[in-house]
């Protein structure tokens, strides 16, 4: 328990608990498993003193749980800001009343519950829930899928543009940097709007690598999610550059011997660009198909569920 009417009392209490539970090195003893309780009077002095706040957060982050009793709405928001600054991690705040609005708005992700205290928290939040028990599904199922889908959308968006339009750079090397475009204007306009829009949209809406029931039974899978990583993005970009060389090379060597078309004319720039676009479209679509996963729900696919 951390309590006290003055800053000195609060500091001595924090130092006493830190010495007995964490030791001098600030590392928790193997046998020390504790919960921390702090009241509003002590938080007044903790939030006003930076050094005391750092010592308190060292003690609080090592605890298995922290309970703040009799705190004001502004203290709730200030405590959330303190946790954000000290840990540097994404902070979620959940509340069910008007006195939780400031805390919800201060956090990175705000969740409001529609309860007997009104809808003020729900209206000020990012996500509104009818019951507290739905928070687990929001985080471990929808939260994980959301990160997975956004990450893949970013990867695929970079890939499909680099794989096709890097051909403009390879064409510039062969045309003496004349400034002539390999693809037609309408092709470059509709490539992202029409030709390759549906696969990325599908991944952003329906991508599932694990069944929902598995995530609900094993919340620890949340830590094994595929977050956005620079090394993975570089691998996607490296693959896109290699595929762009393959696309351009296939189109170039197909028409390298001054091939004749069915009307007897030789293939020109537009035929070369159309062939490169056709090859690139199939390569990009096949790559997206390989990278797309969907784990069906047993309720709708009882026989084919993995």
Q: Which residues contact 291 (CB under 8 A, 6 or more apart)?
A: 152, 155, 156
Comparison of pLDDT for 33 and 14, the residue scoring more: 14
Both 224 and 269 in one domain: the answer is yes
Whole-structure pTM value = 0.75
Both 114 and 237 in one domain: the answer is no
Which one of 80, 105, 131 terminates a domain?
131
In a domain, 46, yes or no: yes
Both 97 and 213 in one domain: the answer is no
Give percent above pLDDT 70 in the chain. 89
In a domain, 23, yes or no: yes
Both 126 and 213 in one domain: the answer is no
Q: What is the pLDDT of residue 261?
A: 63
Both 276 and 246 in one domain: the answer is yes
Which residue is associated with the tokens 């309590």?
A: 3
pLDDT digits (tens, 9 = 90+) for 288-303: 999 988 766 554 444 4
Both 123 and 140 in one domain: the answer is no
- Encoded tokens for 249: 């090379």
Q: Which residues pair with 110 in a beta bridge?
A: 93
Tell whether the torsion through CA atoms of 153, 156, 159 and 162 is positive or negative: negative
Both 166 and 32 in one domain: the answer is no
In a domain, 298, yes or no: no
Q: What is the pLDDT of residue 178?
A: 80
Rounded mean pLDDT, 2-24: 87
pLDDT digits (tens, 9 = 90+) for 206-252: 998 888 888 888 888 887 766 778 899 999 999 999 999 999 999 98
Which one of 95, 111, 131 terminates a domain?
131
Both 273 and 145 in one domain: the answer is yes
Say if residues 232 and 155 touch (Cβ distance below 8 Å). Answer: yes
Both 175 and 44 in one domain: the answer is no
In a domain, 1, yes or no: no
CATH of residue 28: 3.40.50.1000
Rounded mean pLDDT, 255-265: 67
In a domain, 42, yes or no: yes
Give me the domain span that covers residue 123.
Answer: 7-131
Q: How far apart are the C-alpha atoms of 51 and 58, rounded to whole Å? A: 11
In a domain, 244, yes or no: yes
Q: What is the pLDDT of residue 301?
A: 43
Q: Answer whether residue 282 shows pLDDT above 60.
A: yes
Q: How far apart are the C-alpha atoms of 61 and 46, rounded to whole Å? A: 15
Provide the number of structural domains found in the chain.
2
Both 125 and 143 in one domain: the answer is no
Which residue is associated with the tokens 């790559």?
A: 287
Both 227 and 143 in one domain: the answer is yes
* Nearest residue to 149 (alpha-carbon basis) of 225, 212, 222: 225
Comparison of pLDDT for 29 and 153, the residue scoring more: 153
In a domain, 303, yes or no: no
Looking at every residue in the chain, the average pLDDT score rounds to 86
* Nearest residue to 152 (alpha-carbon basis) of 290, 46, 7, 2: 290
Rounded mean pLDDT, 185-195: 88
Q: Which residues contact 234 (CB under 8 A, 6 or more apart)?
A: none
Which one of 131, 160, 180 terminates a domain?
131
Q: Which of 25-29, 119-123, 180-184 has the highest mean pLDDT?
A: 119-123
In a domain, 33, yes or no: yes
Both 256 and 117 in one domain: the answer is no
Q: What is the pLDDT of residue 27?
A: 59
Q: Answer whether residue 304 shows pLDDT above 50.
A: no
pLDDT digits (tens, 9 = 90+) for 49-97: 999 999 999 999 889 999 999 999 999 999 999 999 999 999 999 998 8
């Amino acid at each position: 328990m951390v309590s006290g009417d003055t800053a000195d009392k609060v500091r001595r209490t924090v130092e006493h608990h830190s010495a007995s539970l964490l030791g001098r090195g600030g590392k928790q003893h193997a046998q020390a498993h504790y919960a921390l309780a702090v009241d509003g009077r002590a938080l007044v002095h903790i939030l006003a003193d930076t050094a005391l706040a750092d010592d308190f957060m060292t003690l609080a982050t090592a605890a298995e749980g922290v309970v703040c009793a009799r705190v004001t709405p502004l203290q709730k928001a200030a405590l959330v800001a303190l946790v954000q600054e000290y840990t540097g991690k994404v902070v979620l705040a959940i509340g069910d009343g008007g006195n939780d609005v400031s805390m919800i708005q201060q956090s990175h992700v705000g969740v409001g519950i529609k309860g007997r205290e009104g809808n003020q928290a729900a209206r000020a939040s990012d996500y509104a829930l009818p019951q507290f028990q739905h928070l687990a599904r929001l985080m471990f199922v929808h939260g994980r899928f959301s990160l997975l889908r956004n990450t893949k959308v970013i990867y695929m968006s970079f890939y499909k543009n680099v794989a096709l339009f890097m051909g403009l750079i390879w064409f510039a090397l062969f045309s003496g940097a004349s400034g002539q475009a390999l693809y037609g204007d309408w092709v470059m306009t509709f490539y992202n709007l029409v030709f390759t829009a549906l696969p990325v949209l599908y991944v952003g809406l329906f991508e599932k690598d694990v069944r929902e029931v598995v995530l609900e039974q094993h919340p620890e899978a949340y830590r094994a999610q595929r977050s956005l990583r620079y090394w993975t993005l570089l691998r996607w970009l490296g693959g896109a550059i290699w595929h762009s060389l393959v696309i351009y090379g296939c189109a170039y060597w197909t028409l390298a011997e001054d091939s004749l078309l069915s009307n007897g004319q030789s293939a020109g720039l537009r035929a070369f660009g159309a062939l490169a676009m056709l090859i690139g479209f199939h390569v990009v679509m096949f790559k997206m198909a390989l990278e797309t996963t969907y784990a069906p729900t047993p309720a709708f696919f009882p026989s084919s569920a993995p």
